[in-house]
Amino acid sequence: MMNSTQDTHDNPTRAIRRDFFAYRNGIVADKLRSAGDPHTIIMGCLLADLMAITDNARNGIGSDDRLAATAQELWNDTNSRECRLAAPMLFPPELMSAELALDWCQNIETTEVADNLCHKLLKHITGSQQVMNQLISRDEVMAKYTGYRLMQGLLVTGKLQATPALQATVSAEAAQAQGNLAKLLSDVQQTMMDD
């Protein structure tokens, strides 16, 4: 059950956390823990439920500045899976600078968080290509993963073109990538071919 608009307005973070508890799913939470999810607080909320929670919160919070502040507070809670997933759904894209986006990308702990951050927020911000370029040039695997996930989102939405130079960059990275990054790069290459 979602909290009232007044609750959301008075203390939005607390209201959102109560909604996480209301939508918790023990089976999903147990599966995530068994699969090695590093968060210490896992409610097991489904992404569709998180969207409903953040939509409700958006209506109660009001101003974009308060939305951004609430989203930042959620993002800062690196122990909570649901906070990390809800924050990008709540943050107004027009207020997310490239610098802040790169700051958010400094400590992404799972591919689920990276995927959601790119899909729900980063592909919509001004400077998304700058963020993508900086992330794919880093040495850390999760930063690269996030950059290439953002690239895929920009390709799919038509905000980025599959130039020969971009294809060469992806191919060179794919030749040495492993695990989730290798799978993602294969998907990016397929997206480029479909373009």
Tens-digit pLDDT profile for residues 155-174: 999 999 999 999 999 999 99
* Residue matched to tokens 């920009």: 154
59 vs 79 pLDDT, higher one: 79
- pLDDT for 167 equals 97
What is the percentage of the chain residues whose pLDDT exceeds 90?
92
Tens-digit pLDDT profile for residues 8-36: 557 899 999 999 999 999 999 999 999 99
What is the arithmetic mean of pLDDT over 93-102? 98
* Distance in angstroms (rounded) separating the CA atoms of residues 114 and 58: 22
The ranges assigned to domains in the chain are: 1-95, 96-195
Asked if 124 and 154 count as a contact pair (C-beta separation under 8 A), the reply is no
Torsion angle (degrees, nearest 10) of CA 72, 73, 74, 78 = 100
List the Cα angle 159/165/171 in 5-degree steps: 100
Give the distance from CA 132 to its chain's centroid. Answer: 14
Residue 160 DSSP symbol: S
- pLDDT for 6 equals 53
Three-state secondary structure call for residue 143: helix
